[in-house]
Amino acid sequence: MNQGLERRMDQTDASTEVRARSVLVIEDDAQIRRAVRNALRDITDRLLEAATGSDGIDVAAAEHPELVVLDLGLPDMAGVDVCREIRGWATMPIVVLSARHAEAEKVLLLNAGADDYVTKPFSILEFAARVQAQLRRARTPGAPIGAVLDTQDGLTIDFARRVVTRNNDVVRLTPLEWEILRALAREPGRTLTHRQIFDAVWGRAFGNPQQYLRVHLTNLRRKIELDSSRPQLIITEPGVGYRFEAPHR
Ligand code: CA
Q: How far is CA 218 from CA 74, 81, 99, 247, in A?
A: 38, 35, 28, 22
Q: How far is the C-alpha of 216 from the C-alpha of 198, rounded, in Å?
A: 11
Quote the ligand 1 centre to 51 CA distance (angstroms). 9
Q: What is the pLDDT of residue 103?
A: 81
Q: What is the pLDDT of residue 13?
A: 40
Q: What is the pLDDT of residue 133?
A: 85
Quote the ligand 1 centre to 105 CA distance (angstroms). 14
Quote the ligand 1 centre to 208 CA distance (angstroms). 32
CATH 1.10.10.10 residue ranges for the chain:
148-244
CATH 3.40.50.2300 residue ranges for the chain:
3-139
Maximum alpha-carbon separation in the chain: 55
Q: Which residues contact 22 (CB under 8 A, 6 or more apart)?
A: 44, 45, 46, 47, 48, 63, 64, 65, 66
Cβ pair 109, 79 in contact under 8 A: yes
Q: What is the pLDDT of residue 245?
A: 87
Cβ pair 243, 7 in contact under 8 A: no
Quote the ligand 1 centre to 237 CA distance (angstroms). 22
Q: What is the pLDDT of residue 136?
A: 84
Kindly report the pTM of this predicted structure: 0.71
Q: What is the pLDDT of residue 168?
A: 87
Cβ pair 112, 84 in contact under 8 A: yes
Q: What is the pLDDT of residue 117?
A: 87
**Which residues keep their CB under 5 angstroms from ion ligand 1?**
28-29, 71, 73
Q: What is the pLDDT of residue 143?
A: 52
Q: How far is the C-alpha of 26 from the C-alpha of 97, rounded, in Å?
A: 10
Q: What is the pLDDT of residue 236?
A: 93
Grouped pLDDT means (10 residues each) for the chain, 249 residues = 38 60 96 94 95 97 96 92 93 88 83 88 89 84 67 88 92 93 88 88 74 89 93 92 76
Q: What is the pLDDT of residue 10?
A: 37
Regarding the domain delimited by 3-139, which CATH topology (the fold level of the hierarchy) does it fall under?
Rossmann fold (3.40.50)
Q: What is the pLDDT of residue 142?
A: 56
Quote the ligand 1 centre to 28 CA distance (angstroms). 5
Q: What is the pLDDT of residue 153?
A: 85
Radius of gyration of the chain (CA): 18
For 167-182, give the DSSP string. Answer: TTEEPP--HHHHHHHH
The CATH architecture one would assign to domain 148-244 is Orthogonal Bundle (1.10)
